[in-house]
C-alpha cells in the first residue's frame, strides 16, 4: 500500500466552549483517489478540512501529508501540499488580473521569470481558461471565477486538492464542464459536497461524517446505493446515474 497522501489518525477537536466538533477521526486518502466527504450541515466537514492544511491544529491525534506531520513548524509546507478551493471563489481572488491571481502563490514560494510564467500557463490550461489571463477576476462569471480559484491552487502543485461545495451556484452547463475538468486532473481530490449526483459521478470512494464522527467509509457505489443510510444522515438519494 502506498504512503497516504493525507492521513488523519485519532483526530479530535472541540470548540472553545467545549462543544465537540470532531471525535476520533481516522481517514486515509491515497494518491490518485477521488473521495467524497458527505454529511449534513453541522457534521464537522468544514472543521475537518480546515485541519487538513493547518488552519486548525489537532488538539488530539495527528495529520500527515505524504509522511510530513502537521505541526506549527510545518504549516507552510503542509499548505503548499494541501490546496483548498473554498465555496466562494471571491474569498480567493483579489489581484488585478487572472494571471496575477494564479501567480500569487508560486511567486510567494520564490518562483519568477519563465518558470513562474510556465506554472501559471499550465494551471490556466488545466481548467481551460487561458483566454482569461488578462481579465480582471471581478468581471468573470461565477463559474469562471471557480475555475480560476482552482487554477490558483493547482499552480502551487499540491499533492491533494480539497474542493468545498464545488458545484454551488453553478448552472447545469457549468456543472458539467467542471465535472469534465476535475475528472481529467491527475491529482488526488477530496470533494466536500451536498450535490450527491456530482459526487457519485466523480468519486470512487465516499465517507459520511455526522456529529463529528465517521459513520461509513467505503466504495462510492455502496455508499450512494444505500438509500436507508443516506436518509438516516439527511442526505438526499442520488437521482442521476454514474457518469
Q: Is 82 part of a structural domain of the chain?
A: yes
For residue range 231-242, list pLDDT tens digits in order: 999 997 544 433
Q: Is 1 part of a structural domain of the chain?
A: no
Q: Is 154 part of a structural domain of the chain?
A: yes
CATH number of the CATH domain containing 80: 3.40.50.300
For residue range 125-168, list pLDDT tens digits in order: 999 999 999 999 999 999 999 999 999 999 999 999 999 999 99
Q: Is 237 part of a structural domain of the chain?
A: no
Q: Is 240 part of a structural domain of the chain?
A: no
Q: How confident is the model at residue 229 (pLDDT cuts 50, 70, 90)?
A: very high
**β-bridge partners, 60:** 12
Cβ–Cβ < 8 Å for 30, 1: yes
Q: Is 241 part of a structural domain of the chain?
A: no
User: Residue 210 pLDDT > 60, yes or no?
Assistant: yes
The domain containing residue 228 runs over which residues?
6-232
CA distances from 238 to 89, 126, 157 (A): 26, 28, 32
The residues, ordered by sequence, that sit 6+ positions from 111 with a Cβ below 8 Å of its Cβ are 119
Q: Is 99 part of a structural domain of the chain?
A: yes
pTM: 0.92
Q: Where does the chain have alpha helices with state H?
A: 45-52, 75-81, 98-108, 113-126, 142-154, 172-184, 196-202, 220-224, 227-232
Q: pLDDT at position 240, please?
A: 40
C-alpha torsion 202→205→208→214, nearest 10: -150
Q: Is 242 part of a structural domain of the chain?
A: no
* Total domains, the chain: 1
CA distances from 138 to 89, 90, 141, 169 (A): 10, 8, 8, 16
Give the Cα separation of 82 and 4 in Å (integer).
13
Amino acid at each position: 500500500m502506498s504512503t497516504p497522501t493525507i492521513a488523519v489518525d485519532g483526530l479530535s477537536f472541540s470548540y472553545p466552549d467545549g462543544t465537540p466538533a470532531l471525535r476520533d477521526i481516522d481517514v486515509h486518502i491515497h494518491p490518485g483517489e477521488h473521495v467524497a466527504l458527505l454529511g449534513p450541515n453541522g457534521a464537522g466537514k468544514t472543521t475537518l478540512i480546515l485541519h487538513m492544511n493547518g488552519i486548525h491544529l489537532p488538539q488530539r491525534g495527528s495529520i500527515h501529508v505524504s509522511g510530513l506531520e502537521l505541526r506549527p513548524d510545518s504549516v507552510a509546507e503542509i499548505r503548499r501540499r494541501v490546496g483548498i478551493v473554498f465555496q466562494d471563489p471571491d474569498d480567493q481572488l483579489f489581484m488585478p488580473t487572472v494571471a496575477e491571481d494564479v501567480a500569487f502563490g508560486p511567486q510567494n514560494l520564490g518562483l519568477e521569470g519563465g518558470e513562474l510564467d510556465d506554472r501559471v500557463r499550465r494551471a490556466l490550461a488545466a481548467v481551460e481558461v487561458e483566454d482569461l489571463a488578462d481579465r480582471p477576476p471581478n468581471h468573470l462569471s461565477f463559474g469562471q471565477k471557480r475555475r480560476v480559484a482552482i487554477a490558483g491552487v493547482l499552480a502551487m502543485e499540491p499533492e491533494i486538492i480539497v474542493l468545498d461545495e464545488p458545484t454551488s451556484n453553478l448552472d447545469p452547463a457549468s456543472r458539467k464542464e467542471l465535472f469534465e475538468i476535475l475528472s481529467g486532473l491527475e491529482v488526488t481530490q477530496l470533494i466536500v459536497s451536498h450535490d450527491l449526483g456530482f459526487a457519485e459521478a466523480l468519486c470512487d470512494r465516499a465517507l459520511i461524517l455526522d456529529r463529528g464522527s465517521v459513520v461509513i467509509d467505503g466504495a462510492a457505489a455502496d455508499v450512494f446505493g444505500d438509500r436507508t443510510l443516506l436518509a438516516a444522515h439527511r442526505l438526499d438519494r442520488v437521482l442521476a446515474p454514474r457518469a
